[in-house]
Amino acid sequence: MAEIPDRNLGLELLRVTEAAALAASRWVGRGQKEAGDGAAVDAMRLLLSSVEMNGTIVIGEGEKDEAPMLYNGESVGNGKGHACDVAVDPVEGTNLLAKGLPNSIAVIAVAPRGAMWDPGPAFYMDKLVVGPEAAGKVDLDASVEENLKAIADAKGIRVTEVTVVLLERERNLEKIRAIRDVGARIRLISDGDVAPALMSALPDTGIDAVMGIGGTPEGVITACAVLGLGGEMQGRLAPQSDMERKRVLEAGYDLDRKLTHSELVSGEDTFFAATGITQGSFLGGVRYTRTGATTTSLVIRSHSGTWRRVDSHHRWEKLSKISAVP
């Protein structure tokens, strides 16, 4: 007899990121990133309380003692069921939100307790993210040229046809130059390297890789998605100040260690959900209609390898009768 299919927690997490995106969408382009972030955090917390899990935030908004802010160590979920680690970024790309620029997303990832690598005081990480075709063929320690060639070979395109996304930062200039030397194409972004990382691991998005130094928490969140999508991510801590370096070393982290996505999140039971806030290239942004709003989301479950794009239609009138969101 066939086994009874188990639950896909990701489908419940989808409601969490949808609520965060709907709340944040009120702040698109209004120049107030804290207000937008705050709205998303509140919505996320509220919806998380309905999810059946015994979760602990391991990647959150930092240890903010005062307001209930999804701080590290906070318990989330209804307390029942399996113990799990939870990583959130209620608004990944608060500057993008404040300026109304593309690709800000609300994102959450859940894995069994202890499965997520703890970024501790490490803010910055050098990253390399590719999709399933190039998985196993790239190496953070190889030259940019070798990696670009490997990606091109794996995808059956020319190296000049490969498109890489990087954060436009001084710290990434050397890599940008190296990519240009090889003749590959670049998309520079001002913020938000999770959305393009998702795109590099999904088919037919026009993005082949994400490279360069971005956030460590975002790196762990990305690893959860990449694991489920069958892509590959590698990272290495890259502190950007003496203070960060000192704190990271004191906390016992190894700056030379190359971390694979399976080290950033171990095991095979990870859930990931993301919803577009501002209009993005893969996930559409929140759009208002006469009766409510629409959202576009991505849900990934690593155990089955299933990923879904979900278009949702929200109706204010009905929602207001059954919950405080939006």
From 12, 42, 61, 191, residue interacting with ligand VTB (rule: CB under 6 A) = 191
Give the H or E element holding residue 16: helix 9-24
Does residue 12 interact with Mg ion by CB under 5 A?
A: no
Q: How far apart are CA 253 and CA 247, in angstroms?
A: 9
Q: Which residue lies nearer to Mg ion by CB, 196 or 292?
A: 196
Shortest Å distance, C-beta 316 to ligand VTB: 29
Shortest Å distance, C-beta 218 to ligand VTB: 4
Q: List the interface residues with ligand VTB, window 161-180 (CB under 6 A).
A: 169
Does residue 89 interact with Mg ion by CB under 5 A?
A: yes
135: three-class secondary structure by DSSP: coil
From 12, 42, 92, 208, residue interacting with Mg ion (rule: CB under 5 A) = 92
Does residue 214 interact with ligand VTB by CB under 6 A?
A: yes
From 36, 93, 131, 239, residue interacting with ligand VTB (rule: CB under 6 A) = 93
**Which residue in the shown chain puts its C-beta closest to Mg ion?**
92
Shortest Å distance, C-beta 92 to Mg ion: 4
Does residue 113 interact with ligand VTB by CB under 6 A?
A: no
Q: How far apart are CA 239 and CA 119, in angstroms?
A: 12
Cα–Cα distances in Å, from 188 out to 94, 210, 218, 230, 323?
Answer: 17, 10, 17, 25, 40
Backbone angles phi, psi at 242, to 5 degrees: -60, -40
Shortest Å distance, C-beta 149 to ligand VTB: 26
Q: What is the phi-psi region of residue 305: left when phi exceeds 0, alpha when psi lies from -120 to 50, beta otherwise?
A: left
Backbone angles phi, psi at 147, to 5 degrees: -65, -40
**Which residue in the shown chain puts its C-beta closest to ligand VTB?**
215
Does residue 215 interact with ligand VTB by CB under 6 A?
A: yes
The answer, yes or no, to whether the previous bond of 326 is cis (omega within 30 of 0) is yes
Task: Name which of ligand VTB, Mg ion, none residue 231 binds, using a CB cut-off of 5 to 8 Å depending on partner kind.
Answer: none
Q: How far apart are CA 266 and CA 146, in angstroms?
A: 28
Single out the residue of 56, 62, 58 nearest to residue 117, CA to CA.
58
Compute the chain's Rg from CA coordinates. 19
- Which residues bind to Mg ion, rule: CB under 5 A? 89, 91-92
- Which residues bind to ligand VTB, rule: CB under 6 A? 92-93, 169, 191-194, 214-215, 218
